[in-house]
Amino acid sequence: MLAIAGGKGGCGKTTTTLGLAAALVRQRKAALAVDADPEMPDLHALAGVSRDPGVDAVAAGWPPGMVAGTAGPPAAGAAVLPAASDSRVGASSSPSLSARLGATRGTVLLDCPAGAGPDAVEPLRLADAAVVVTTPEPACLRDAAKTAAMARELDLPVAGAVVSRAEAPPAGVADLLDCEVLGVVPDVGAGASVAPLADERVRTAHDEVVSALQPKCL
């Protein structure tokens, strides 16, 4: 189970979560993208699936595979589990919920909340490794470094970093985050004619990140 984490909102966590799930599907592997941010849920909107049911239905006893919706293009085939409608139900709020997610076939990707509060810590405790997402902006990089440090304080390995909206990784980013850069996702621009996940360069970048993760934790 991978936590897709970042210290700053808008750094690209949700797009990366769904993009990696779609990349796994393209490799004929099972993937479940889970929105672990009940306060600011947006994974379902990006994937084009219904807001309900969500994580709270799994907490009530339903199998994740029966609750999850299937993303439409450009992430066609990826299974998506929306956030709970009750903000008190997090990704690991009960042992039974944690067990059901952990027993899911394939790779589970947790779209984590931003910041360093209890809601951001919760999915990190559930995961087997973290992928830290950041943009090249200095403030975002600093927050990403805090997220990586927080993961390590929880004894969660940091599998690597994804730099979003960039053409090349910023100088020194691997040293700052103390992990390898798994990939760089280009900025397609607000005026692009297609959604970011439909852009071939973005898809290729996510495919490369999955390939880099394969020997480590997939």
The predicted-structure confidence for 81-116, as pLDDT tens digits, reads as follows: 999 876 555 554 556 677 888 888 889 999 999 988
Picking from 52, 47, 63, the residue whose alpha carbon sits closest to that of residue 111 is 47
Q: How many distinct structural domains can be found in the chain?
A: 1
The predicted-structure confidence for 10-35, as pLDDT tens digits, reads as follows: 899 999 999 999 999 999 999 999 99
- Domain range for 78 is 2-217
Is residue 199 very low, low, confident or very high in pLDDT (cuts 50, 70, 90)? Answer: very high
Picking from 126, 140, 184, the residue whose alpha carbon sits closest to that of residue 2 is 126
CA–CA gap between residue 41 and residue 110 (Å, rounded): 12
Q: What order do you get walking across the sheet with 79-81 strand by strand? A: 69-70, 79-81, 31-35, 107-111, 2-5, 129-134, 158-164, 181-185
CA–CA gap between residue 3 and residue 131 (Å, rounded): 6
CATH number at residue 188: 3.40.50.300
pTM of the model: 0.93
Mean pLDDT of the chain: 90
